[in-house]
Structure 1
Amino acid sequence: MNSNMDSQRKINVLVVEDSVSSYKAIVSVLENFGFIISSERVEWKEEFQKKILEKHWDIVISDYYLPDFDGKYVIHRTKEINPELPIILITEFIPEEAASEYLNLGASEFLPKSSIIKLPFVVNRELEALRLKQSQKKAWEMLVHGEEILTRSQKISHLGHFEVIFPENNTLWSLELYRILGYDFSEVPSMEKVWSLLDEVDKKNIETVWKEVTSENTSKEFVFHLNTRHSRKKVNLWLEAERFDENRFRIFGTIHDISDVSDLESSIQLNEQLFKGIFNNSSQAIFLLDLQGHIIRMNRNSVLSFERNEADVQGLELISSIFSESDEDSIKKLTYGMKLSLKNQTFEVFVSYRLRDGREKYFDCDFYPLNDPYGKIIYIVLEAKDITEKIVLERAYAQAQKLEALGTFAGGIAHDFNNLLTPMMAYISFLNAEWSKNESNDMIQKSLPAIEGISKSLDRAKNLIQQILTYSKIDHSSSKQLDLRDQLLQVLNEVKFVSANKVALFTDLGNEPAYIDADPIQIFQILSNLYENSLFALEDITNPKITISLSKVTYEKSDLVQVGFMKNTEYWKLSFADNGNGIPKEILDKIFDPFFSTKGGKGTGLGLSIIYGIMAKMGGTIMVESTIEKGTRFDLYFPAWKAMV
């Protein structure tokens, strides 16, 4: 059996193609599918005419545009030599109507080069069709030349045939048809005797079909019932008309007794409907795989969960197609699960899956085999439960717990720090009072702006301490409508004044006011922290650059769809980007954790976690993207004032 299958996989392919790379791609995709290829490439008309006659070819695969001829000539010449030889056109630049024309001329299929992955299935289909056609032809020849074989075959299959010649109305029945109709062999055959066994409705239908067949010179097929002398039978009737000349023709037909298989077919159909119902209505995503891991079927839930069309991945290997963007650990687990299922074992695995738009999902997967009644594995099944929402909520809950602990801790520190600020503000007030008496002193006059700056910073620090205390109590009483764009400009003016770093700053803030509902102290805290973080990341960079942009986005058209539980429809997106060294991927998920710092001893690790907490309370969020040696970008999404409910 294996040698027979191998022989069916060996094919001689004539490739008419002027591109060597396209030729190699065709051969490669067929060999990867399991075909054993013996092929030759031609690109000139003279070569093609010679090669098409040299040997027996199983299939011809041709480009349409060739140096000195085209695909239309390939079709005509091939059909002249061997009308049954399949021809597949593969090209990219051909209009749809032209493709239909060439299919009508005799091409078996037309494929764009971008869909070459489907070529093996087309080739397999055409070869199977050719083998079937050849088998049918051989069977017909055997029937014509062996009446005994015909009779025995019809008796075994309960298939009888008849023939009526017009205008003579000469009628012939096969022996099996006598048995199906319940007539003795001595009866003179006539179609009226057949019609007498029909119900009235079926009789009218047959009369209509009979007229259609004789007038259109075509074939028809349908199912009806016969009321014979012995029983009521369900039969399949097939009719075909053949016209000899204008006035003379014959009708050939078969009547197949399908009574015995009717109940079996009903049972099979019922089981098929049950399978489809359970398969497609399952709450799990289900993939039905062959033993090589190729996708045979996907249920409705798998299409929705993985956002892949069944037609696009059918026949492809599951792990390398569906899970190609998953992390290395998930791919290893899936591969191991597949191996265990082939050993008749089940395996459960947790894997990640990345959608085409960058979103990440998480699935709890089960591999298990399907066996035939003898215990042989015939299919592999992968069931996947989408647990993305659970994972996201668990992570959000963990982050909330960290921030709650941070709030408690920050509240204690804020009380002590407030005690330190009180004498400092008193000293500044004393200096202001004393130095104002000596207004004529130039040195004092030059120092007054610095004293004023220190005083403002202390006021802001006091407000910040109050904000930390408020934050630790989860209090929103100080929020108000403000212009985020205006706040950002104020912060940039202040931090640039005191910053010693020579950093190129690029801004794209637009001209539209960006109204949000927030506390100005919290906004200052967010913006100054992000700016200082960018400066730290650029300390060792030759040409440091910070890019800040502000724009309004909608939920559906932004990266917020990755978050999944945002409530507003419009947001102000504020982006802080630098060209620093970037953040390693393995620690990127930790940067919002309290006390986690990448600054060594220079940072407390509280800045980003406080920003995360403030944004969450406002109904927004903060996201980060970073690439090593290219830089980092923080995207903050503030609920737009007009979008607030």
Structure 2
Amino acid sequence: MSEDLKILLIEDSEDDARLLLREIERGGYRPVCRRVETAEEMQEALAGSAYDIVLSDYQMPQFSAPAALRILKESGLDIPFIIVSGKIGEELAAAAIKEGAHDYLMKEKLSRLIPSIERELREAHERRSRRNADNAIRAGKMEWEAVIDSVSDLIFLTSTDGTIIRCNRKSIEYFNTDYQELIGRNIGQVFYGSSAEQQNIFKVQPTAQETFEEITFPTLKGWFHVSICPMRSTTRELKGLVHVIKDITQSKKMEEEKQISDRELLTLHAVAFRLNSKIGANKIMNDLLLQLHTILQVDFASIHLLDDNFLRLKASFGLSRTFEAAIKRLPNYVPWLSQVLSGKPYKSKAADRELPANVLRTASDMGMQAWCVVPLKIGQEVMGVLMVAHKAEKAYSDREVFLLTSIASQLAVLIENHTLYDRMKEQNVELQLSRQELKDNLLRVKEANTELERLNDAKNSFIGMASHELKTPITSILGGVEFLLKYSGLQMTPEQLDIFTSVYEGVTQLKTLVDDLLSISRLEADGIILQKRSLRMIPLCREILDTFALPLSKRQLVIDITGDDTPVLADEAFSKLAIRNLLENAIKFTPDGGKVEVTASLTGRGELLSEQELLEPFYPGLGNLLDGVSLFYRLDVRDSGIGIPPEERVRVFEKFYGIGDIAYHSSGKTEFMSKGTGLGLAIVRGIMDAHHGFVWTSASRDGGSVFSLLFPADPPATDQ
């Protein structure tokens, strides 16, 4: 019975086509053929049907074998391609084979056709089988990886010497790393670190599964269950090891808490027994603290009782003398103590800043770490606090806090009965002590304020002196470098030019810093004496812009300066400084491709009052501040940069206050990379205050910022 053979025949001669099909039939096949003569017909045929083989003439009026080969390659189909031609030479045939043809033969020698077809069909079948096998292997690998990645335990596959060759996703997440960081490392070093040579369970090479219970590792916290299984080849040769590591910390903790519960019950019984005794309150309190140490392994403990609204130390255990003195009376204004006095426990893993400074210092000297405070409460009334502490850092469990709260509640009942009378006798003495302490505190505050004023004056004097001393060498360096870059005519290598440019930019930034420090020093010392004269702000802005020519030469910004050029009375030097700071910020925070606009206009008092909601946060009581002036000269500097969050707009005029991180937007790779000193806008505010003017910022229409300067212009100034 003949076998169907689906043939795509590329042939322009019907006679030759019939000849080929007849030869194929003689070979025992039943050809199912489609004949094409053009590229379009071939593309349509490949898209519409599946074929076993492609037979092609080499050269036809509208098509060729090389063109057909390209179309077959582009289709991505793996179909044997045999050239059958009467005019192809050896060189062309070899080139066709190189391009991807599987065989070629002459029309005069069709005896080779059937063997060639059978060979290529067989090889195509083998290629498909290999692809299917490869796909099956890849699918199996993906399924296997999906399975181990879904496991919540840590899974590592290692070679026999412990080198990690594969791990699951949970392992990567657990160590907060990536796959490549773990692969190739020794598993013992991952879990034991520098202690890998000591008690390393991963050195074991078991012949069968081996399990290790409740293991700890130097590099990790908690407890682990480890199972190690050999990984063998089909010949039973040991190829590696499979390690399954389960974190059992939580179950271990639950087991430990179960053991603790018996101890807690014993503690409650012992406390209840002693509270039923008729001994005095002081004896009961000291005896209770001793029991807490004995049964609950508490290292330090104290009891404070409220007396005249103060918490006073009444009993203690294990405390140093200096610590006892520091907590003799607890300041109930601290947040955690307010929480306890409201009836809620407070706990901390370590001695921290929640403690007053003197208490924290003595606690550290004593070795105190974790601490917990619970209220001594009768009903809803808090009469004091019970504080316990340990030398080790620990997290107090809810169970432990509940136990301490129960003990404190029982203790409170008895203490209340014994201390009422004693507390009344001590009230007068404590009142006198508290008054003296208040006087001492006020005196210390007054002395501290005096010292702060002296230090501030000294700081301003130093900044002024240092700035004056630095300006001369900075100016010399800046002038020299600028001359070399702009006017010397020296032929520099690119490296030399980069070095001098970097020096120029660095010295410019240093000069800006010195100028800012000097300006802020003069502003704080109220040393500004304005030399007002009639100024035209538009030419002044263009003059300032020229100073940015060198760094701007490497930026792609559009800078537009337009508007009213009415003269205004102002100090030229300080006006330049204010405008320069705003223009520098606008350029700095505008990315390449953006635009900076400077616009000037005359603004009346009524227009400003219509913006009162915007200006009020910057100048509370704006209406009163505008009294006496009816006309202002307004200068707006608008950028298309990163903008300022609304909640930070008022604060940007504070000293040393900065917005965001310029390294994270596009202008952060330019000469304006420096975030600045945080003084520029504070200086602008000081200059405008000295002019009895105003400065504020608002959002730009395109997402950037607008900084506005307002100079009094009533009456209008005239040119001199």
Fold-level similarity (TM above 0.5): no
The structure number with the bigger radius of gyration is 2
TM-score tier (shorter): 0.3 to 0.5
